[in-house]
Structure 1
């Protein structure tokens, strides 16, 4: 399966990304044509590599036995670089997203991950066509809900766009994160967003948090579902993820919560459970929304990803100490106590084992080889 990471760029140096990225594109106007050069100053420019780590990192060392292993370590990535607010990109942010989404679709993405928010519920009308283009080409689009700690109290676009699977965050107890999540009626599922690890462009491993990390966990699960069930269209891939999610605290199964969506993602059930097919995307129809609401708003409502809309970034982070130093997980540590992600059958079907499931197996917290 091919997953497009629309972000600051997936660095080409770390061993954890060996053979992971099949192609790329720069939509920012300040990156490299292949989308691999981190765009903007650090730590924001590390963001794309951290996101890719959770999604599809291959591990390091002989046979990938060390380092960070992502949810879908056999997925193929497309690195599409965009410029966040501090990147000095000359291209309007809304236009960057349009370019990035369309390029991803045209170059074979089965899943698109957007670990960003505009801190506003609405979006420019130019996004209507871009996201509908993805829907028309059967692409699963996943977006971060945003973080209260970064000023996003309520979910913002693109996580508010109908048809997009928006992802909230939970802590290690499975409770909605106070700072590393948001809330809103468009949330589809929740996934771990605290005490995450990511491979930086220089190969070091950093601790970070936010729904920017929860989103690629779910994107990895979507890749696993598409690999295990190639007959499913995007609507049914999303339905499998939402229908098999486990209820959050005090949430009734089958209900949609503004904190957890349909529940906490369960990768094992998403891949293996028996789920009745659906005819419509449980996250709604953008085409129907546009037909109903866009005429009343006019061609463009004037809001969306303009100069005042700041994509989600992350605070400065220090590299994690080497294994055995005492403050980080040691060898074979499993974040949130989940059974590790495994790949079965060579390049064929990928399967995840575990309770919450959508997480990573960090075999050793150390500098990448």
Structure 2
């Protein structure tokens, strides 16, 4: 049995863009005696607590491919090698097949993520096993930080397109940019995944790594964003962040991962919560191959166990693999996590479609006849009834009244003057 390695630096994933992971410096022992269960399996509490073991009675993810766009899935570990069916490097730093880990301090991150999604174990009941242990993996290696030869946003866009073109049913992105907005080049890349019926699962990010709010790509409409909870199912303070774009929550503390050198480590972060949910999505797609990506996402969120807290903390609740696979869930016609296409139309000011042209033939209307000329039989110098009624008569009356008033005033003035000349007695 491979030893459980825990003595790894706590700041292992403090690099820019990564959601982060902390590795416990203290050894952790399995709760179940070694003679009853493999110690590593005993530490994978999420298998029983989140309905994964029960879901395995229906499916283990066969026929589904998960693309892990990360630091690369290492060659060598027996838990991972059988699962990886292809890969590529988009960073300019790794190998052509994406199997050479990229990064100075975070090189094992991609292997940890992949092992939570689809590790095979070291035997039927030993070694680390993933949520969908019969699903296939694609390894897309990216470089985080200034060391990469290709800009990060270009790597992600290229990695998504390559994954879609090479058969991915699910894409896992366990990183954040720590900003709510994203580069416009991601619009078409993510829409390409949605148009090709691919489920995109994204980590929400961690406060412990400096992420104070959910950032892109977890803010992109249509992705299934995953928050983290502790082993008791309570929103994690350090190993998660929260926001309005959350879809579901999954364990993000005391997780296991197979490192590039084959050692099993314990680590924290939504970087691990996301591949747990990606594995659940793989189980759903395997059990229901007729479902499109929208309905796979809908089953995952609608069957989640409601949490005692706000949706800003937990999304729809804690993921439940057994119910996601077996429950009866009504079909939907659109992605319940939103429409990127509509967002682009509104916020990117996309060009309007062609202007509709009139289809009816023009109608000719006959010209109106010329207006008849007005003539008078009598002389224009003679008054009419209207001029007498509304012009002459009122004028005469007003003029007469004015004359009478003037005469009255004149007479009054004369009397006053005459009286003023009369001597006093």
User: Would you say same fold, with TM above 0.5?
Assistant: yes
Q: Given the alignment, which residue of 279, 282, 288 partners 2:336?
A: 282
Q: CA RMSD in A?
A: 1.0
Q: Given the alignment, which residue of 72, 78, 87 partners 1:9?
A: 72
Q: Is the 8 A contact 1:20 1:77 kept in 2?
A: yes
In the other structure, the counterpart of 1:58 is: 120
In the other structure, the counterpart of 1:312 is: none
In the other structure, the counterpart of 1:32 is: 95
Deviation, 1:7, is: 0.2
Deviation, 1:178, is: 0.2
Residues in 2 aligned to 1:219 and 1:178: alpha-carbon distance in whole angstroms: 22
Matched, 1:117 2:179: no
Q: Given the alignment, which residue of 74, 92, 112 partners 2:134?
A: 74
After superposition, what is the alpha-carbon deviation per residue over 1:218-238, rounded to whole angstroms, capped at 9, x for unaligned? 000000000000010000000
In the other structure, the counterpart of 1:304 is: none
Residues in 1 aligned to 2:293 and 2:277: alpha-carbon distance in whole angstroms: 14
Q: Is the 8 A contact 1:174 1:249 kept in 2?
A: no
Deviation, 1:19, is: 1.4
In the other structure, the counterpart of 1:134 is: 193
Q: Given the alignment, which residue of 15, 18, 21 partners 2:81?
A: 18
Show structure 2 runs of 5+ residues with no match: 1-63, 351-425
In the other structure, the counterpart of 2:418 is: none
Residues in 1 aligned to 2:140 and 2:250: alpha-carbon distance in whole angstroms: 23
Q: Is the 8 A contact 1:247 1:262 kept in 2?
A: yes
Deviation, 1:66, is: 1.3
Aligned length, in residue pairs: 287
Within-5 A mapping of 1:103-252: 103-250=162-309
Residues in 2 aligned to 1:110 and 1:237: alpha-carbon distance in whole angstroms: 11
Residues in 1 aligned to 2:236 and 2:279: alpha-carbon distance in whole angstroms: 21
Show structure 1 runs of 5+ residues with no match: 252-256, 297-369
Q: Is the 8 A contact 1:192 1:213 kept in 2?
A: yes
Deviation, 1:64, is: 3.7
Higher strand share: 1
Residues in 1 aligned to 2:298 and 2:250: alpha-carbon distance in whole angstroms: 16
SS in 1 for 2:127: strand
Query: Larger radius of gyration, structure 1 or 2?
Result: 2
In the other structure, the counterpart of 2:148 is: 89
Residues in 2 aligned to 1:187 and 1:65: alpha-carbon distance in whole angstroms: 34
After superposition, what is the alpha-carbon deviation per residue over 1:196-226, rounded to whole angstroms, capped at 9, x for unaligned? 0100011111110000000000000000000
SS in 2 for 1:237: helix
TM-score computed with the length of structure 1 as normaliser: 0.77
Within-5 A mapping of 1:245-264: 245-250=304-309, 257-264=311-318
Determine which structure has greater relative contact order: mean sequence separation of CA pairs < 8 Å that are 6+ residues apart, divided by chain length. 1
Q: Is the 8 A contact 1:147 1:211 kept in 2?
A: yes
SS in 2 for 1:45: coil
Deviation, 1:295, is: 1.7
Deviation, 1:65, is: 2.7
SS in 2 for 1:10: coil
Q: After the TM superposition, which parts of structure 1 deviate over 2 Å for at least 4 consecutive aligned residues? A: none
Residues in 2 aligned to 1:214 and 1:27: alpha-carbon distance in whole angstroms: 24
SS in 2 for 1:68: coil
After superposition, what is the alpha-carbon deviation per residue over 1:263-290, rounded to whole angstroms, capped at 9, x for unaligned? 1100000000000000111100000000
